[in-house]
Structure 1
Amino acid sequence: MARYTGPSCKLCRREGVKLYLKGDRCYSEKCAIARRAYAPGQHGQNRKKLTNYGLQLREKQKARRIYGILESQFRKYYEEADRQKGITGENLLRLLELRLDNAVFRLGFANSRTEARQLVRHSHFTVNGKKVNIPSYELRVGDVIAVTEKSRSSEKFKALSEVASNVPKWLSVDKDKMEGQVVALPQREDIDIPVNETLIVELYSK
């Protein structure tokens, strides 16, 4: 499956905000935004003021890069969100949050969404007792996400189980059992990503 394989820090610099794509590195002095807070490239420091379309495009790109998905996938999420009842922008973020790889990251079982995606692809997790290796798997209220029995003994997951994580209200986690559960649908106030979803809706509505 196609995916971005270039430098993650360049994406943060291009958007001008931390997207937290590199886990612990994003919180250290090595963070690219902290050292070079301007867009990459020869003319990165001479960017002109963005048009309305430019602002809308940047918000869409920012959301795409945070969740690590391609344009075709993102458009499908938007179309599904548009068909649902309620506010389209909030529906879109809710669908993205309910991806399995995002939930694994939110539960503290991975240091970044990129790492969570890799762990899911390598079959380290079960959903309701069944192995799932599809990062885009859509979770529902009541679903239980757990580290497989075989993977629980690895040093990777032992170390993660000892680290406190800030789990959002729509999830619950039991670090001793290495499992979490979707207890409610994520609401906008629970989603702490630096994205203005209204601009994304405006872009796709044209």
Structure 2
Amino acid sequence: MARYQGPVCRLCRREGSKLFLKGERCHTDKCAIDRKSYVPGQHGPTRRGKQSEYGMQLREKQKARRIYGVLENQFRKYFKEADRKKGITGETLLQLLETRLDNVVYRVGFASSRDEARQLVNHGHIIVNGRRVDVSSFEVKPGDEITIREKSRNIPRVQELKELAEGHKVPEWLEADHENYSAKMVRVPAREEIDVPVEEHLIVELYSR
């Protein structure tokens, strides 16, 4: 199954909230959901019936998948892993998604979106603990150091991102040294530190059917 290649702004409109899939554009008045808050479709704004319980659960799962750019089979594997671990399943699921390498690269400001972060990783621009890692789903653990490869630092877009990162707010579970293109994961994030508009308990209910 291939990744979604269409206009990502439609995904935000479909879920009814900003998923921040377009990088800097999401923070401007050009954001599609600010201009067209209704769901996409050829008939424009239409009245929709009351959503079923299953529909609400499905929408939360789809929203989480789209935020993190994860395919259905991958997402199911993350849920099964979270379900096996001790603790609250929904919270553990979000922690597993947050500690993906592409998400960490995005969170520390090395990329303007998770999609751009995924490209940086897949193209071999990211180093973890001194070794090049080109797998975006790589699990980052506390103590791991992430840097941008020395040869990649002269790429114009990387330099541009460095300037943008100066005003980027880095979560407390991460440390970033933008001047030296480096970052470090301090600890696993707590639920209150994961600022995604997802009600994870609905996802757990969906997979528990």
Give the TM-score category using the shorter length.
over 0.9
Q: Write the distance in 2 (CA, Å) between the matches of 1:111 and 1:45.
A: 33
Quick one: percent identity of the two aligned structures? 60
Deviation, 1:159, is 2.0
Unaligned runs of 5+ in 1: none
Cross-structure match for 1:12: 12
Pairwise mapping of residues 59-138 of structure 1 onto structure 2 (< 5 A)?
Answer: 59-138=60-139
What letter corresponds to residue 193 of structure 1 in structure 2? V
> Secondary structure in 1 aligned to 2:180?
coil
Q: Write the distance in 2 (CA, Å) between the matches of 1:42 and 1:159.
A: 38
Q: Write the distance in 1 (CA, Å) between the matches of 2:21 and 2:161.
A: 17
Deviation, 1:154, is 1.9
Q: Write the distance in 2 (CA, Å) between the matches of 1:45 and 1:81.
A: 38
Q: Write the distance in 2 (CA, Å) between the matches of 1:196 and 1:18.
A: 15
Deviation, 1:155, is 2.0
Scaled by the length of structure 2, the TM-score of the pair is: 0.96
Deviation, 1:57, is 0.5
Scaled by the length of structure 1, the TM-score of the pair is: 0.97
> Secondary structure in 2 aligned to 1:157?
helix
Cα deviation code 1:130-164 (max 9, x no counterpart): 00000000111110010000011222222222232
What letter corresponds to residue 108 of structure 1 in structure 2? G
Cross-structure match for 1:36: 36
Number of equivalenced pairs: 206
> Secondary structure in 2 aligned to 1:45?
coil
What letter corresponds to residue 120 of structure 1 in structure 2? V
Match of 2:204 among 178, 201, 204: 201
Cα deviation code 1:54-91 (max 9, x no counterpart): 11000000000000011100000000000000000000
Cα root mean square deviation, aligned: 1.1
Deviation, 1:49, is 1.4
> Secondary structure in 1 aligned to 2:105?
helix
Q: Write the distance in 2 (CA, Å) between the matches of 1:106 and 1:167.
A: 6
